[in-house]
Structure 1
Amino acid sequence: MAGDIDSEVVQLGTYKVEKGKSSISGLSSGAFMTVQMHLAHSSSFCGAGVIAGGPYRCAESFRSASAVAEDAYELNALHLCMNPLVPRTAPNAERLAQLAHQTALDGRIDPIANLAGDRVYIFTGSEDSVVFSTVVERTREFYHLLGVKADDIFYDDSVPAGHSIITDNAEDSPLSTNQPPYINNGSFIQSHNILRHIYGNLLAPSQRLSGRLLRFDQTEFFGNEARASMSKYGYAYVPQAVADGAAARVHIALHGCKQGYNYIDFTFGQSDLASQPPYGNRYITTTGYNSIGDSNNIIVLYPQAEGTDDSLTQNPDGCWDWWGYSSADAERPDYYSRDAIQIRAIHGMLSRLGG
């Protein structure tokens, strides 16, 4: 059936993609990575969707949290950037905005001025017990401080949702759930709302997909380096009209922790295949991106992170790196910059597609 994942492994192709019209969204660690990607390569993007994610370089809020940099960033990530004890200990958006400006001046990310005119969707469920709404509200403040106009920011904290991307699938978890697979039924399709906010008027989603959901070898984009903590395969939905040569845009959809296609549990640092959860490719196939992409000539790119838990990379839950685990030098991390191994890989995929 059209839209099923092809059994073959292909090389990611190039299409007639409009430059500067790409967009990106993500949930949780994918949302933190969305903000990092948006700033690192703002010349490539016209908008972003942030579901339960905090502001740029949030994990570096307080370097003095520990004598060891790696420990300090992890402590910040686990507490200040996810569930601060009281609202006043949530991330300082003004300080992080200043840090973003300095990072741009240092030439490590694109100019901040590129963000002007971008459309940003920001969402936090009022029942989210994983990343508190006080953190996500700082993301709205952060973007405003960087020059994104209030009218271009859609912010919603009114839905009693748990930590999840929301669908209208009856088989998904109840709306207020805060546990894997982090896909909850709220009687609306959140991915459609994100793309409509970014791009304006879009055609109705396709009832039947026309294109192909491709599996490609993404190791060519990160050199198969273990510290990348990325899976062997990535996925891309390509509408048939785009494959036939129509002009297109690209949307990058970043899953959250424990949502990659090959997520497994780790027990004492070892892959526990016997308890592998049946989440599979649900983020790729059931979150609604493909149907609205199909009718609007939008390629949907699904890069994949995977869990690793060893002396080199401690990322057992398969999260995208927003606190520095993939950096070669913990004292001088690069996870937030154009030099970051994951950001380079994802942007390489976007460039290959033509965006």
Structure 2
Amino acid sequence: MGGEGQGKIEPLPTFDVRPGESSISGLSSGAFMAVQVHLAHSARFLGAGIIAGGPYRCAESFRGAGFLAADAYTRSAMAIGMTPLIPAMAPDAGRLAALARETAHHGGIDPVRHLARQRLYIFTGSADRVVYSDVVARTRDFYLALGVPEAHIEYRGDLAAGHAIITDNPEDSPLDANRPPYINDGGFMQSHEILRHIHGPLNPPTDRLAGRLIRFDQREFFGGEPRASMSRFGYAYIPSGVLAGGPARVHIVLHGCKQGYNYVNFIRGLPDISNQPPYGNRFITTTGYNAIAESNDIIVLYPQAEGSDGGAMQNPDGCWDWWGYSSPDPRNPDYYSKRAIQIEAIQAMLARLGG
């Protein structure tokens, strides 16, 4: 890998990015989050890749699950948004599509008319025991209800994969595994499928990364606010052609729970530093995004969430917020809108890059 800059911190640069041609993808909590970012700023995107993620605001499926909205959304996220007992309990795509229209009407997200031009890659493994396929199927129904043409959606549910992004790396977990680091060997690079579906025909991936993987300080994008539950550093792969001044596109990649570069396990509210997981930056460096980005002048942005446990902020697994933990008012969560602290931060990073 072209390695200059990986050991130092530098400001996130600005490049000649084509307006309106950005895209986003994610796994698990990153997939749920990718849907929220996609809906919030659909005018800026061409499409999204969703691996094991549910529809927009699905954590609000059953408001009666708790007295406080924050408690109700957390319980709904687990019991309905991830592992519904029966298919009929999966999120109601039609209701959530109506909720998205209402949110857009009040200015919380971009007008949903922009979705008609989007391209979606949606994947669920039939052996996934973390986010059930019934939930992911409702994500497809949700987008169809909002006007995305069926021909624009590639839906894959035919592979006996566990909860993971798929690679062709023999050292990764078996295909049907449902365990960290949630990167499984299935004989193909899913990241390549995602980018090809969204952006159309692309050059083959390179076997030599001549660009740079940079590390930047994320705190300027969320003001260092602890409730953002975002790490100090974020990463971006900049292809060599973009470094030379050529036009670029941006693809945002959102990791899943327990996949951030500095994830640690929490025990009784304290970080278990002595048992740091050994997989570090694997989601950034081994999932194939950089190789196909290098040969197609696509900047890959890797924002990073981190965990915390104890006190008012509960996010021990370092998940992206798709149920409201980062909202300043737990009685009225805003995690799904342009005003959400994580969505604002990610969009500020995209704007800085030039998108």
Please report the TM-score for the alignment, with normalisation by the length of structure 2.
0.99
| Alpha-carbon contact 1:163-1:179 (below 8 Å) kept | yes
- How far apart, in 2, do the equivalents of 1:292 and 1:176 lie? 25
TM alignment of 1:1-355, pairs within 5 A: 1-3=1-3, 6-355=6-355
Identical residues among aligned pairs (%): 64
Deviation of 1:67 after TM superposition, in Å, equals 1.3
Shift of 1:239: 0.5
Spell out, residue by residue over 1:309-344, the C-alpha distance to the aligned partner (whole angstroms, 9 max, x if none): 121210000000000000001111110000000000
Cα distance in 2 between the residues matched to 1:44 and 1:138: 24
CA distance in 1, matches of 2:4, 2:12: 17
Alpha-carbon distance in 2 for matches of 1:310, 1:350: 31
Aligned-partner Cα distance in 2 for 1:78–1:179:
17
Q: Deviation of residue 275 (structure 1)? A: 1.2
Distance 2:113 2:308 in 1: 37
Displacement after TM superposition at 1:4 (Å): 7.0
SS in 1 for 2:140: helix
- Conserved in 1, the CA contact under 8 Å of 2:35 and 2:50? yes
The 3-state SS of whatever aligns with 1:216 is strand
In structure 2, what is the Cα distance between the partners aligned to 1:199 and 1:271?
40
- Which stretch shows the higher mean deviation, 2-11 or 40-49? 2-11
SS in structure 2 at match of 1:177: coil
Shift of 1:68: 1.6
* Structure 2 spans left out of the alignment, 5+ residues: none
Aligned CA-pair RMSD = 0.8
CA distance in 2, matches of 1:69, 1:103: 17
SS in 2 for 1:137: helix
Give the residue type in structure 1 aligned to 2:307: G
Q: What is the CA–CA distance in structure 2 between the aligned matches of 1:247 and 1:3, rounded to whole Å?
A: 22
Q: CA separation of 1:331/1:146 partners in 2, compared to 1, >3 Å: closer, same or farther?
A: same
One-letter amino acid matched to 1:194: I
| Deviation for aligned residue 1:295 | 0.2
Residues 69 and 333, structure 2, Cα contact 8 Å, conserved in 1: no
Deviation string 1:133-158 (CA, Å, 9 cap, x unpaired) is 00000000000000000000000000
Give the 3-state SS of the residue equivalent to 1:7 in structure 2. coil
The amino acid that maps onto 1:334 is D
How far apart are the structure 1 equivalents of 2:172 and 2:5? 21
- Contact persistence 1:36–1:56 (CA under 8 A): yes
Runs of 4+ in 1 over 4 A off after TM superposition: none
Q: Give the letter aligned to residue 334 of structure 2.
A: D
Q: Distance in 2 between matches of 1:67 and 1:317?
A: 24
| Aligned-partner SS, 1:195 | helix
- Given the superposition, is the C-alpha separation of residues 34 and 62 from structure 1 closer, same or farther in structure 2, using an over 3 Å criterion? same
Q: Secondary structure at the match of 2:9?
A: strand
**Conserved? CA contact 1:163–1:177, under 8 Å:** yes
Deviation by residue 1:97-152 (Cα, 9 ceiling, x = unmatched): 00000000010100000111110000000000000000000000000000000000
Unaligned stretches of 5+ residues in structure 1: none
- Between the aligned partners of 2:146 and 2:75, the Cα distance in structure 1 is 26
Q: 1:247 & 1:289 partners in 2: Cα distance?
A: 18
> Aligned partners of 2:37, 2:337: CA distance in 1, in Å?
8
TM-score (ref. length: structure 1): 0.99
Q: Which amino acid aligns with 1:304?
A: Q
Aligned residues of 2:55 and 2:136 also touching (Cα < 8 A): yes
Number of residue pairs aligned between Structure 1 and Structure 2:
355
Secondary structure of the residue aligned to 1:174 is coil
SS of the residue 1:49 aligns to: strand
SS at match of 2:6: strand
- Give the C-alpha shift of residue 13 in structure 1: 0.5
- The separation in 1 between residues aligned to 2:268 and 2:173, in whole angstroms, is 29
The whole-number CA distance in structure 1 between the counterparts of 2:3 and 2:76 is 40
Q: Are 1:118 and 1:148, in contact at CA under 8 Å, matched by a contact in 2?
A: yes
